[in-house]
Amino acid sequence: MNISNEQFKQERLQAIISDRHSGAAELGRLALQALADYSQICDKSDTPGLLQDMLIFGEALKEARPSMATIVNLVDSWCEWLKNEHESDPDQFRAIALNTALDLLNQSADAINQIAHHVVDLIDEDSIVLTHSYSSTVMACFQALASKGVRAIVTESRPGDEGLRVAQKLVEYAISTEYITDAQLGLFVPLSHAILIGADSILADGSVVNKAGTKLIALAAKDAGIPLYVCTESFKRSQQNFDEVQLEEMDGSELGVPHLPHVTTRNIYFDITPPELITAWINEHGINHS
């Protein structure tokens, strides 16, 4: 076992495991970037050894964040490609591994642009659009919507407060924003014209795994007759059913509550919104109504 190979892999894995700020699409890209970088530094001298080592690293990356279908799908696509590659020269093989990763990263970036185009067609001028937590896909949509005069309602998104990062991005796009606590969603969902959310995974039945609070938004949206659009590249589709999903729970200390006897602090990051609460799923191929 080469220590420097192992160190590289552990550092990248830990960075992804402890990342509380990147959305699912970004984490998928970080995982693929880690594989691409590893393909260049891995010291195996023969192609079969190189491939096997990269596949092992790929499996570890997939297990790092089990709620993130993007990591699974991007890593699997990359691994499948390389398993079917017949190049035997290790240096040529490294170059192919890198280029395959770059192709997949470009596809992902294109997908987000296409989703933003679809969303611009869907949202009326001067609409008030509500979002929750940070999604790089939804931010691309807001950037594209800025010229249509939309305003935004942004939730705090406790405990990570990703809403602050959303608001900072919206400042760059000069979009007027109202910033609310998650608890005020019952008041502000009915004041919006549309809701845009990203997702960590789309399950087999269309259920959406996303930041905790999304299901509350969906219930409030259904109650008030506000359309809820889920914006995700197709790489976020998972084959899992809702009863197979492992929802990640993070350290309760993130809530900043003092220790009290008999009191357990819970910090589940994601919830699952069933398909009947979703108006449409938007991916790079178009808009799929429920």
Residue ranges that bind a copy of itself, judged by CB under 8 A? 155-159, 164, 167-168, 170-171, 174-188, 211-216, 219-220, 223, 247, 252, 255, 257-258, 260-268, 271
User: What is the rounded distance in angstroms from the CA atom of residue 151 to the CA atom of residue 141?
Assistant: 13
Give the shortest CB-248-to-a copy of itself separation in angstroms. Answer: 12
| Nearer CB in complex with a copy of itself: 117/215 | 215
Among 274, 284, 135, CA closest to 205: 274
CA atoms within 13 A on the CB side of 120: 17
Give the shortest CB-106-to-a copy of itself separation in angstroms. Answer: 33
| Nearer CB in complex with a copy of itself: 127/267 | 267
| Nearer CB in complex with a copy of itself: 10/290 | 290
| Nearer CB in complex with a copy of itself: 31/189 | 189
Cβ-proximal residues to 161 (8 Å cutoff; 6+ apart), any chain: none
Give the shortest CB-221-to-a copy of itself separation in angstroms. Answer: 10
Give the shortest CB-156-to-a copy of itself separation in angstroms. Answer: 7
| Nearer CB in complex with a copy of itself: 115/195 | 195
| Nearer CB in complex with a copy of itself: 102/187 | 187
User: What is the rounded distance in angstroms from the CA atom of residue 262 to the CA atom of residue 87?
Assistant: 60
Give the shortest CB-151-to-a copy of itself separation in angstroms. Answer: 9
Give the shortest CB-214-to-a copy of itself separation in angstroms. Answer: 7
- DSSP helix/strand/coil, 20: coil
List the structure tokens of 86: 């017949």
**DSSP string computed for 58-126:** HHHHHHHSTT-HHHHHHHHHHHHHHHT-----HHHHHHHHHHHHHHHHHHHHHHHHHHHHHHHHHSPTT
List the structure tokens of 78: 């990359």
| Nearer CB in complex with a copy of itself: 10/181 | 181
| Nearer CB in complex with a copy of itself: 4/176 | 176
Give the shortest CB-46-to-a copy of itself separation in angstroms. Answer: 48
Give the shortest CB-249-to-a copy of itself separation in angstroms. Answer: 10
Among 70, 67, 63, 142, CA closest to 105: 70
Output the 3-class SS for 34-74: HHHHHHHHCCCCCHHHHHHHHHHHHHHHHHHCCCCHHHHHH
Phi, psi of 271 (to 5 degrees): -130, 175
Type of residue at 88:
S
- β-pairing, 208-211 vs 270-273, is antiparallel
